[in-house]
Structure 1
Amino acid sequence: MREAKIPFGERDGVLLRAFEVANGLACDCVCPGCRKPLNAANRGQKVIPHFRHAQAEDCVRGYKDGVRRAAVALIVAQQRLTLPAFSRQISATTISGHTLLRDVTFQPAAITADAVERFVDLGEVMAHAVITAGGRQLIVRIKVSPRAEHERYQRLAHIAASSIEIDLSGLSLEQINDPATFERAVLSDPSTKSWIRSLRGEMLAQRAAKDLATDVVACNGQWEQERGRLQAIEDARRVEQEAKVTTHANALAAHREVQLAAAAAQRDADIPAKDGRSARQRREDLIVDQTLRAAQEWGGQAVECSACCLLSQPGAQFCLYCASESSTMSRILVPADVAATIHLRMRCSAKPERSLRLAPTLLVQPAPFTRD
């Protein structure tokens, strides 16, 4: 346990390292914690100079109090200290759910003290040092063990003064014994220091929060405008779509009237829908006839019904022959020499079967086509 090796002994109110005094009891030093005699061990070649209690003691304060008091003595003697960097991120959320961020930072900075008070009782917590510089006070806590001090630091956070921690808990006995290393760790090394409370950092964070609030208002306004613009576009699209649906419905209704009239005319003319051929053969012949009609009469241009597979004149919006509600009309091109291959195509085509499955009954029969 490293606390058994005490780095500093006290003599006449002065803290001394073991290599600075005579060996053994001749050092004439007492423990900084319990005030009992110490034995200096400074003659070994492999052992780092240190102190031990002259007699077995349960003292656990000698190491901590010695290191802490030595650190405070350095601050008092040098009247200077390097403050740590500060870093905090402020965030705010817009009504659209977007998070705005602002980094609040400042770099380490050295201060010169006008005065330093040692071990000041602040009521609920002890300040190991209170530095006054430029009319402001800075509370200093010296940490010499890994134990967390959350409760003390919560109390410090409610005191209207900035406060920092100087963490010396990671120093080895060898580093403490080296005056230059120890002085650097206490006074100038920003990595050993951290803010418990920074009034400057809080002021900057408050400014950043106000700036963010302004940005949030601006973003919310832009978002509302954009939302209004998009809503207007969506409303226009909806109106357009509704108009298209209405137009389509009206056109389909008019088409159905034309279909019914054509169907009635075919019934009056006693045009048979059936003959001796099978249903498949009849439907195949109708598909072939309409394909040839497109090649010979419509210049190879036509539209095909996705349900009955019969071709109609180019530009037809609806199929005149079947009454399928889900059919669509697709534009196709019919080659001029289709007559030479149409029957071979039909042998391996699924169109007749699909036509019968999707449109088993034709409302209107295509006009007879005389094949060449």
Structure 2
Amino acid sequence: MITFYNASHLRHQGRLEMFRGELLPCFERADRVETVLAELRARRLGPIEAPEPFDDAPLARVHTQRYLDFLRTAWQEWIALDPANAGKDALPSFWPIRGFRSDRLPDNFAARLGLFSFDAGTPLTAGSWAAARGGACCALSAVRRVLAGERAAFALTRPPGHHAGVDFFGGYCFLNNAAIAAQALRDGGAARVAVLDIDYHHGNGTQAIFYERPDVFFASIHGDPRTEYPFYLGHADERGAGAGLGCNLNLPLPRGTAYPEWQQALAQALQAINGFCADALVLSLGMDTFEHDPISGFRLKRDDYYRIGETLAAQGLPIVITFEGGYAVDELGINTANLLQGFEQAA
């Protein structure tokens, strides 16, 4: 399997995030991807390439132009407020919640930072735009190879993407790589695309982007939003709306779920995807389902990921894989490579 690696991710390294009332070192850090890269190379699981160049047009197929414009210039605006800000990350401190207007773009930078975000745990840094854009190019490169006939391609990148919406960032995510990939597959000729999100945390951004569309099916297996981030989406009764009714499947599971119960949810999701008759699959590959992940609550083990890879390969669909969460860094490379190796051996 070909892997597209985003070296520009190293330019995005948040210092602190707000977590349970404290400013703590960021869980989402550069060595997450580097340990995966090292394991893929050690096992020789396929070529590793830099992403191909793309303009911003595919990004604008998913995200609003004013949001992209904000991300592109945000760091420069942050520095312009005070040169001392170069030594700090930008974190939002207020947001336009229910009843507030969001159609008028404020002149105040802090107000715009809040307008385009939904949490205080996603620091915007000097390299955030370059890293996020490089990640999107990895996803688009993977799509291009799959459309050209490859069975599978992996976008190994950070920051992750599935929490980013049409016009907001959060959950460590700025650009929604899975949604960008799904849209690019549609634009490249796939009539029906499925997105399967197996991150511990619900892919709220991906769901919202496609919620009213009948051409993209979204399925997610995740921690129950009654207790787990991002809290406000991911319930089982969210089935899509309008033309997209029936094209959204959420399978929330309780904290402590182990592989046998998780695998049953996977089988249900894949049955629904098969019923949708998808031409291609995008996998939001979150590895925070691992039993020792520090901010998650499932109980999957190392060898379970081999079986997940084998199960995905058995579906026979061309697949674009985008890397999402996973914060047990010492095991992250092994677990990710196990899944990809399981896929390759079965395919």
TM-score relative to the length of structure 1: 0.18
Structure with bigger RCO (C-alpha 8 Å, 6+ apart): 2
Larger-gyration structure (1/2)? 1
TM-score relative to the length of structure 2: 0.19
